[in-house]
Amino acid sequence: MQTTSGPPPAPKHTCPESLATVTIRPGDRDYDAVRHTYTRLGSPAAVIRVRDHQDIADTLAHARTTGVPVTARSGGHGISSRSTNDQGMVIDLSRLNTVEILDSRSGLVRVEAGARWGDVAAALAPHGLGLSSGDTGDVGVGGLATAGGIGLMSRLHGLTIDHMRAAELVLADGSLIRTDTEHSPDLFWAVRGAGTNFGVATAFEFQAQPVREVIVAMTVYDAADTAAFLTRWAAAVEAAPRLAHQFPDARRRSRRESSCGPGDDRVRRHRRDAGPRGSRPPIVGRAGPAQPRNRHSLPPAAARRARAAACAATADRVAPGLLDHITPPAAESMAALMKAAGMVQLRSVGAAVNDTPPTAMASSHRTQNFSLMAATVPALRDGLDEHWERLQPHLNGLYLSFETRTGRRQLQDAFPGPVLDRLVSLKAQYDPDHVFDNNFALPSVPFPH
Ligand SMILES: Cc1cc2nc3c(=O)[nH]c(=O)nc-3n(C[C@H](O)[C@H](O)[C@H](O)COP(=O)(O)OP(=O)(O)OC[C@H]3O[C@@H](n4cnc5c(N)ncnc54)[C@H](O)[C@@H]3O)c2cc1C
């Protein structure tokens, strides 16, 4: 992850008059509260806290005229650290944060991009509704919903974008477009997986699901024989009912598993009876009901800022990959990786995620059962890179939202051949001047196959 510190440079350009009251610049009282993100210390020349799509259009027009770099920011949790910059403009969507229940019986909801998933869960819970999203309440809607959304309800309800019914975007020319399966369906296909390349999303419509009581459990296993344990754990996950989502944090000798699923007797029985076969009994096991919104409680703003500064100052490389299955050789490679990396996290995906056909949207990886992520600090980076290369033969694609590198290889792993080619051609149609090239930029012409 990138880090920048020191006093911010003086702004080199002025903003249009229409944006004067919503622009925060170096030296302004609020500047320190808006310049950084969760993963990066930034020094933008201007942060525009937009009120509506017109402010976004004005900012884009100004950026295009002056050639100043511009980036959108919703929750500021992007792992690739691209939602702030140095001496550029940031379109801050945090004011566009309304969550609206359009139809409580069908579960149709409209969520503005600047809301955070904790707000969404809190607004839906009183209606007995929930939306599959990530595991962290202060992640923003805009970044996650333009990429995928792997979370605690994925095995039961799929990815966040699998429930998207429409998206509203400001395109590079400043026009506001509402896209769905009947209106500019090719753009709607692209937004669900590669959205940041096509515009600034202002709002989404989602089909929420009935979700009432949720059981959350934490189990710690002795995993001294890590590879054997991972193989057994993977088999147990693949055999588990899709109601249960396993989400382990791997440590060198023990594994902590957080599970989450609806408060359903089948899940309770599964948790009681179906630990990884052949493993020793858990060292710690706790389970209990939780309201869906409690999985997404939002920390106070000051705590969030402090955490962001700590993360930006220490975090370095994050590497993600997807796996169809965890074979014994893959488990051996992962066990070695765990000794080298700062943190390794494995999530179960599969089940409902794989019900969506791979052609339905740009997010087309629909055979995998596991998502692996390794993170490290600078001193351990070489070790991570070396072990990650050894894992490559076992990986099948990646989820861009967990990636810090933004090059050709990442695009090719995220979007298999024909998907990437189609995205490149849509980029030429919707963003021919490459205004939205800030994160995982699609090229102008397809990569040679
Ligand atoms: C602590 C933590 C936990 C996480 N947990 C999960 C998880 O459980 N599941 C999961 O799937 N992901 C998870 N992520 C990854 C997260 O989903 C992505 O990083 C996501 O992009 C963050 O969204 P954001 O709006 O907060 O990000 P931002 O930093 O605001 O933006 C990220 C990227 O999206 C672009 N962007 C933001 N808003 C818009 C918009 N409205 N229109 C167009 N482009 C936009 C930005 O320019 C940037 O390139 C986690 C990240 C962190 C830091």
Test site for ligand 1: of 34, 92, 133, 139, most ligand atoms within 8 A of the Cβ: 139
Q: What is the pLDDT of residue 246?
A: 59
Test site for ligand 1: of 38, 60, 70, 77, most ligand atoms within 8 A of the Cβ: 77
Q: How many angstroms does the Cα of residue 402 sit away from the middle of ligand 1? A: 9
Task: Decide whether any atom of ligand 1 lies within 6 Å of the 77 Cβ.
Answer: yes
Q: What is the pLDDT of residue 213?
A: 74
Residue 106: CB atoms within 10 A of its CB come to 9
Query: Side-chain half-sphere of 123: how many Cα atoms within 13 Å?
Result: 22
Q: What is the pLDDT of residue 412?
A: 96
Domains, the chain, ordered by start: 17-92 (3.30.43.10), 99-210 (3.30.465.10), 214-290 (3.30.70)
In the beta sheet, which residues pair with residue 90? 47, 71
**Is residue 131 predicted with pLDDT exceeding 60?**
yes
Map tokens 């400043």 to a residue. Answer: 174
Task: Decide whether any atom of ligand 1 lies within 6 Å of the 439 Cβ.
Answer: yes
**Is residue 379 predicted with pLDDT exceeding 90?**
no
How large a percentage of the chain has pLDDT more than 70? 81
Q: How many angstroms does the Cα of residue 285 sit away from the middle of ligand 1? A: 31
Q: How many angstroms does the Cα of residue 238 sit away from the middle of ligand 1? A: 28
pLDDT tens per residue, range 159-192: 999 999 999 999 999 999 999 999 999 999 999 9
Query: Side-chain half-sphere of 34: how many Cα atoms within 13 Å?
Result: 27
Residues in Cβ contact with 201 at an 8 Å cutoff, skipping those fewer than 6 apart: 72, 113, 142, 145, 146, 167, 168, 169, 191, 195
Place 253 in a pLDDT band, splitting at 50, 70 and 90.
very low
Q: What is the pLDDT of residue 99?
A: 97
* Ramachandran area for residue 278 (φ above 0: left; ψ -120 to 50: alpha; else beta): left
**Is residue 444 predicted with pLDDT exceeding 60?**
yes
348, containing H or E segment: strand 343-348
Q: What is the pLDDT of residue 109?
A: 98
Query: Side-chain half-sphere of 237: how many Cα atoms within 13 Å?
Result: 28
Q: What is the pLDDT of residue 29?
A: 93
Q: What is the pLDDT of residue 53?
A: 97
pLDDT tens per residue, range 190-213: 999 999 999 999 999 999 999 877
Task: Decide whether any atom of ligand 1 lies within 6 Å of the 363 Cβ.
Answer: no
Place 3 in a pLDDT band, splitting at 50, 70 and 90.
very low
DSSP state of 436: T
Q: How many angstroms does the Cα of residue 371 sit away from the middle of ligand 1? A: 17
Place 2 in a pLDDT band, splitting at 50, 70 and 90.
very low
